[in-house]
C-alpha cells in the first residue's frame, strides 16, 4: 500500500456557480482558477499522484496550457485514474476534507461522493468527503477562498508497466 496527500486552495472571485467534487453548486461568487477551480478534485488528484510518486497535477495539466483553460476537473481525475492503472495501482480508499465558511456544503456531499465514486471506481464506502468551517479564522474563515485536503491509499494490483514519465 502507498499513502498520498493532496492540498489545494482557490480564491473566490467573479460570479458563481462553483464546482466542488465534480458537482455544480450555485453561489453568488465563483472560484478563480485556470480550470473550473474544483479544489476537491484537485486535492484528490494530487493525493493520488503523490501516492504513486507521479508528481503533481500542475505537471500533468500545466496552467500555461490553453487546452486546460476552464477545464472540467473531472477529466483530470479520470486521466489520473488511468495513469495509476498503467503504473499498476488502484485507489483503495480516499478521505477528503473541504474547508469553507460558505456555502453550506453538507447537502451536496452525497452528489459529490456519487460523482467521484463513478469516476474513480471506488465503492462509496471507501470514499469519505467532509466539510468544515474554520469558525471565522484565517482566509477560509474570512470567506476569501476554499481549501481542501485529501489523503488516499493505493494498492498495487499488477506489475509496473512502462509509462511515459516526463
The residues binding Zn ion (CB under 5 A) are 8, 42
Angstrom distance (rounded) from CA 148 to CA 47: 11
Pairing of strands 145-156, 2-15: antiparallel
Q: Which residues, listed in sequence order, are joined to residue 96 by a DSSP beta bridge?
A: 129, 150
Whether the Cβ atoms of residue 89 and residue 141 lie closer than 8 Å to each other: no
Nearer to Zn ion, 45 or 122 (CB): 45
Q: Taking CB positions, which residue lies at the least distance from Zn ion?
A: 42
With cell 483503495, the residue in question is 92
Nearer to Zn ion, 42 or 87 (CB): 42
Question: What's the grid cell of residue 165?
Answer: 514519465
> Closest separation between CB of residue 46 and Zn ion, Å?
9
Nearer to Zn ion, 19 or 42 (CB): 42
> Closest separation between CB of residue 2 and Zn ion, Å?
22
> Closest separation between CB of residue 21 and Zn ion, Å?
13
Nearer to Zn ion, 1 or 103 (CB): 103
> Closest separation between CB of residue 1 and Zn ion, Å?
26
Q: What is the CA radius of gyration of the chain?
A: 15
Amino acid at each position: 500500500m502507498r499513502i498520498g496527500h493532496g492540498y489545494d486552495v482557490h480564491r473566490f472571485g467573479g460570479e458563481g456557480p462553483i464546482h466542488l467534487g465534480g458537482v455544480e453548486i450555485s453561489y453568488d461568487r465563483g472560484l478563480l482558477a485556470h480550470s473550473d477551480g474544483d479544489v476537491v478534485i484537485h486535492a484528490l488528484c494530487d493525493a493520488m499522484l503523490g501516492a504513486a510518486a507521479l508528481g503533481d497535477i500542475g505537471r500533468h495539466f500545466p496552467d500555461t496550457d490553453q487546452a486546460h483553460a476552464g477545464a472540467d476537473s473531472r477529466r483530470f481525475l479520470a486521466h489520473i485514474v488511468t495513469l495509476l492503472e498503467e503504473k499498476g495501482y488502484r485507489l483503495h480508499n480516499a478521505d477528503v476534507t473541504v474547508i469553507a465558511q460558505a456555502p453550506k456544503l453538507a447537502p451536496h456531499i452525497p452528489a459529490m461522493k456519487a460523482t467521484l465514486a463513478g469516476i474513480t471506481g471506488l465503492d462509496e464506502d471507501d470514499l469519505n468527503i467532509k466539510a468544515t468551517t474554520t469558525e471565522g479564522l484565517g482566509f477560509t474563515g474570512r470567506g476569501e477562498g476554499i481549501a481542501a485536503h485529501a489523503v488516499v491509499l493505493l494498492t498495487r494490483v499488477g506489475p509496473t508497466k512502462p509509462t511515459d514519465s516526463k
